Amino acid sequence: MDGSTGATALREAEQGTTTGTSSPQAGTGPLHAYRAHISSGALSPDPAQALAAERLQDLWRRLRGYDPHPGKKEEPGLLARFFRRKPVEEASDAPHGLYLVGEVGRGKSMLMDLFFDAADVPRRKRVHFHAFMQSVHRRVHAWKAANPRGEDPIQPVADAVADEAALLCFDEFQVHDIADAMILGRLFEALFARGVVVVSTSNTAPADLFKGQPGRDAFLPFIGLIQKHLDVLFLDAARDYRRDRIRGMPTWHVPVDGRAERALDAAFKELTGVAHGEPCSLTVLGRQVELAQAARGVARVDFEALCGKPLGAADYLALATHFHTLVLDGVPRLGPENFDRARRFVTLVDALYEHRVKLVASAEDVPDRLYERGEGAAVFQRTASRLMEMQSGTYLALPHLT
């Protein structure tokens, strides 16, 4: 195998990745930017957020101009690099990263935005953690396909990631997949050895990652690795700002027309801060479930993409645990003529409801009139009742359950 082939495969870009460039805040840091937002009225004062901004400012100072491999040049073949590599000595001068943990809607992603925009690190990337792990699995697969003799892919994959970024910023660090759990310890040990600094947001404390899952004992060394290389800060903000945004927001739009589409566009932008998300896919039992758009814990999908395909409870469970809000376009009238779609929709709503996922949807009618007659209509009454409850202020105030 030609080493350049492996190098090309391993340089595949992550979905949802933002690569850093210089910004106006780079000279002042995230704390200055946070205070500017407070002064302008764009943000309300919050002591927990202010503390997190101060911690991020301290890391920003320590990272200015950081590059663990200055002047490093690309070598011609990744395979040659793999066989050349001696054991990597852990980078002793790498600053500790930060693991920012708190409930949904407390401002973690907003603070990450301010830090990433201001970071004076030439090679930096911000990516949703799930998208990052998808790219890692693709790179591992590409390496194995190009190296049938069974060489370990972790070191060359870590080389490729470290070549791209000395600072990795992860949104929504969460581990649900056993395939992710089995690879994380060795991969992150290699990344930290190469001086990569990690900053992450999460709804889950490191000690609770992958809790209650089969095989967790083998995952515990990774938790120790995170606690060694990242300072953990709990963001105990008093308000759930995301829930403040969704409270009072109409969540069920009838009928499916241009007005409803514009309302869903506005809801997605209000909840994520961006007009359009990035394509995303979930790995479920070795299959890929494709989602049209995803950003900051919000997925946007067409009804046909979720219920017109042969998906099942495991697929909808993965969706419900990965995203706190689903924006769903085009729920049709249901009945015996599209019973399979109706059955899948019932399963989808059950998964969303059990995990307290917020649903913003456009539909041909209100829930009580979506499935009025024929076989299955009586069963659908329970789903209609749940859909009505999911529009209530009480339900919208509930925390997401992962």
Q: Are residues 149 and 268 in the same domain?
A: no
**Residue 250 and residue 210 share a domain:** no
User: Residue 256 belongs to what H/E stretch?
Assistant: none
155 lies in a domain?
A: yes
From first to last of its 402 residues, the chain has per-residue pLDDT tens of 344 344 444 444 344 566 765 454 556 899 999 999 889 887 888 888 899 999 999 999 999 999 887 545 444 444 444 433 434 444 557 899 999 998 776 788 889 889 999 999 999 999 888 778 888 988 988 888 888 787 789 999 999 999 999 999 998 888 877 778 888 889 999 999 999 999 999 888 898 888 888 878 888 889 999 999 999 999 876 565 666 667 678 999 999 999 999 999 999 998 988 899 989 888 887 788 999 999 888 999 999 999 999 999 989 998 998 899 999 999 999 999 999 999 999 999 999 999 999 999 999 999 999 998 888 888 899 999 999 999 988 888 888 887
Q: How many domains does the chain have?
A: 2
Q: What angle do CA 65, 70, 72 make, to 5 degrees?
A: 145
Among 208, 234, 260, identify where a domain stops.
Answer: 234
Residues 262 and 214 in one domain: no
What tokens appear for 91 in the block? 């980078």
Do 80 and 229 share a domain, yes or no?
yes
Assess whether 225 and 310 both reside in one domain.
no
Query: Residue 158 sits in which domain range?
Result: 3-234
CA distance 321 to 68: 36
What single-letter amino acid sits at 140?
V
216, 276: one domain:
no
> Do both 45 and 155 map to the same domain?
yes
User: Is 401 part of a structural domain of the chain?
Assistant: no
Boundary of a domain, candidates 234, 261, 281: 234
Structure tokens at 230: 């990242």
Q: 402 in a domain, yes or no?
A: no
Label the pairing between strands 230-234 and 18-19: unpaired
Per-residue pLDDT reduced to its tens digit, 16-68: 566 765 454 556 899 999 999 889 887 888 888 899 999 999 999 999 999 88
Nearest to 359 by CA among 309, 304, 320, 314: 320
Judgement on whether residues 219 and 327 belong to the same structural domain of the protein: no
Last residue of a domain, one of 189, 216, 234: 234
Q: Give long-range contacts, CB 8 A cutoff, 24+ apart: 209-218.
A: 209/173, 209/174, 209/175, 210/175, 210/176, 210/181, 213/176, 213/178, 213/181, 214/178, 215/178, 215/181, 215/182, 216/181, 218/181, 218/182, 218/185
Residue 354 within a domain: yes
Instruction: Give per-residue pLDDT as tens, 67-121.
Output: 887 545 444 444 444 433 434 444 557 899 999 998 776 788 889 889 999 999 9
CA–CA gap between residue 142 and residue 3 (Å, rounded): 12
**Do 154 and 252 have their domain in common?**
no
Q: How far is CA 161 from CA 33, 132, 389, in A?
A: 29, 10, 45
Verify that 89 and 31 share a domain, yes or no: yes
Give the separation between CA 196 and CA 168, rounded to whole angstroms. 7
Residues 302, 334 within the same domain: yes
CATH number of the CATH domain containing 107: 3.40.50.300
Q: Do 183 and 145 lie in a common domain? A: yes
